Amino acid sequence: MNTDISDLTGRPVIIGGGAAGLMTALALAPEPVVLLSKSPLGAEASSMWAQGGLAAAVGDDDDPALHLADTIVAGAGLCDEVAARRIIEAAPAAVERLAQLGVAFDRNADGSWRLGLEAAHSRNRIVHATGDGTGREIMRALIAAVRQCPSVTLLEGVEARRLIVEDNAVQGVLAVRGEEPLVLATTRVVIATGGIGGLFHDSTNPTGCFGQGLALAARAGAVLSDLEFVQFHPTAFDGPSRPLPLLTEAIRGDGAVLIDETGLRFMADEPGAELAPRDVVARAVWRHRAQGHRTFLDARERPGDLFAARYPVISAFCRMAGLDPAVDPIPVRPAVHYHMGGIAVDVTGRSSVAGLWACGEASRTGLHGANRLASNSLMEAIVCAQWVAESVTGMSQAAAKPCELGAVPPASDPTSMRRLLSDALGVLRDRDRMTAAIRSLLPLAMGAGPAADPALVGLMMSVAARAREESRGGHCRTDCPDTLPVAQPSRFTLSSAIAAARGIAETERPSIRSVIS
């Protein structure tokens, strides 16, 4: 790499090479921008693995108002309706924009979109590409466009370790290229680092996704929101490899059902059955397994012989496991799939820190509430990237203050967090396990070792989850099973989360309700 970092001074810096980061970089063109990706583009991005598509009201029988209504129901009272409406109304244009960039979406013989049905949607409104390869196809097109875009300086193999902030305003990014520390002087940074699945043992996310962007933002003083809400996908492939392969719920939309080893369809009597919201299905699968059963996705009757053609990626890994979905039930289990919480932002991506934006899964716009509606996440990333870019461009550009190269934190390793957080913040939670996790995580988060940033993210999530003394959406407490009549988002900073954690560790007083506001 021959890029002279000094030549990049003042350019906006995007941290993250998934769909949100790539789309933001393209939307900023022709303004020169720097895109940091800690690995080769697409190698560690959850977007690349997405099997679901983009939810958009593009069908003749559909309307954004119906899409919004489904989103709000799934969000269990915590959606920001104003933000959600704006994002959803922009979804059809986002699909068209991706098509213009070369994404080969699936179409019917007459050229219209081929629309799929997924859980908790009242209409067929999911636009897919190459069946279950939507994420791969979108990333192919976006990566090609970014590599050809002259205004984007792409720095692969460069990892952001800290944001440099003075007087609540961004002044730069401390990064590492190999063993070489770098300082990128800038007053405009976009965090697009994805989710937190790498903090858990059973996850469909790349193992390196542990909430890096949340740690960067928290240490910079930003407000974070709703970190307790984790979505478990109910049908991850139950096998030995990690991360767990996903079995998209589009298969259930095609008529597949959930059974146990006896052949019992244990979701049959639930409202919505297998197409109930993800949190409902995940809890049902979790509880059935806790009773000693094995759980399977049965696609033998529907889609049956059509499975391989409609879901080529899933069919391939089933064959590698010695299974034919048209003949054999597929073993499944819940796994961490998506994080509804994140850096608190408005729909333009602005955080509470001047010059800091967030986009994609690292952000909390208010679209998803307590439980994300299927296929709303890729859509949100594409839609909001345009608005983030407009906001970044519209910010009056001030010269970054000179930054000194401080101590460089070590590369993070979330390995030691996984069993602890899987136990404390699983599908079903309780006060005692969350308290134990907070006590274990606090000293690690306050340290300077490889576990510090992952522990910090896990600590903030645990503090928020312990504070929410109810069950709502993706947050289910066995000791607080009821849902409170008024839904309130959680909002806190690193300092308030640390103070709450210390109070728990030292006194065991329920002193953290103040983080709910």
3-state secondary structure 179-235: CEEEEEECCCEEECCCCCHHHCCCECCCCCCCCHHHHHHHHCCCCEECCCCEEEEEE
Nearest to 146 by CA among 52, 5, 37, 50: 37
Active site residues: 278
Contact 512, 500 (CB under 8 A): yes
The strand pairing partners of 189, in sequence order, are 13, 356
Place of tokens 């404390």: 424
How far is it, in rounded angstroms, from Cα 415 to Cα 451? 8
Q: Which tokens belong to 374?
A: 């299927």
Q: Are 459 and 494 in contact (CB under 8 A)?
A: no
Q: Is the peptide bond before 32 cis (omega within 30 degrees of 0)?
A: no
Question: What is the side-by-side strand order in the sheet with 363-364?
Answer: 363-364, 342-344, 224-225, 491-492
**Among 370, 353, 339, residue whose Cα is nearest residue 493:** 353
Instruction: Look at strands 33-37 and 152-156 and give their pairing.
Output: parallel
Residue 379 structure tokens: 């859509």
User: Taking Cα atoms as reference points, which of 193, 230, 234 lies closest to residue 368?
Assistant: 230
Tokens of 209: 């996704």
> What's at 115, amino acid-wise?
L
Q: State the CB neighbour count (10 A cutoff) for residue 4.
A: 6
Tokens standing for residue 220: 């910079």
- 415-to-78, 327, 422 alpha-carbon distances in Å: 32, 37, 12
Whole-Å CA distances, 124 to 106, 118, 390, 398: 14, 8, 31, 47
Longest Cα–Cα distance in the chain? 67
What angle (nearest 5°) sits at the alpha carbon of residue 437, between those of residues 431 and 442? 125
- Taking the C-alpha atoms of residue 335 and residue 341, their distance in angstroms, rounded to an integer, is 17
Q: Are 98 and 138 in contact (CB under 8 A)?
A: yes
